[in-house]
Amino acid sequence: RAERALSRTVGSELSHPRVLSLPPPRPELTLAPEALRAPDSSA
């Protein structure tokens, strides 16, 4: 089960770069994933 959880986490991370690769319609969307990864920066 742990392996499946890790695979899901990796899959979600892989989907993020794909979205970033595409031209973001709004710069806010590009900052959203960064804020989630580094909440300390936003604080």
Angle of the 2-21 helix axis to the 27-37 helix axis, nearest 10:
150
Between CA 42 and CA 34 the distance in angstroms is 9
Please enumerate in sequence order all residues whose Cβ is within 8 A of that of 29, keeping only pairs 6 or more positions apart, or say none.
Answer: 19
> For the chain, how many structural domains are there in total?
1
Q: How confident is the model at residue 7 (pLDDT cuts 50, 70, 90)?
A: low
Question: Which tens digit of pLDDT belongs to each residue from 9-41?
Answer: 656 655 555 555 556 566 555 556 665 665 555
Give the structural domain span for 13.
2-42
- Cβ 13 vs Cβ 6: under 8 Å: no
3-state SS of 11-40? HHHHHHHHHHHCCCCCHHHHHHHHHHHCHH
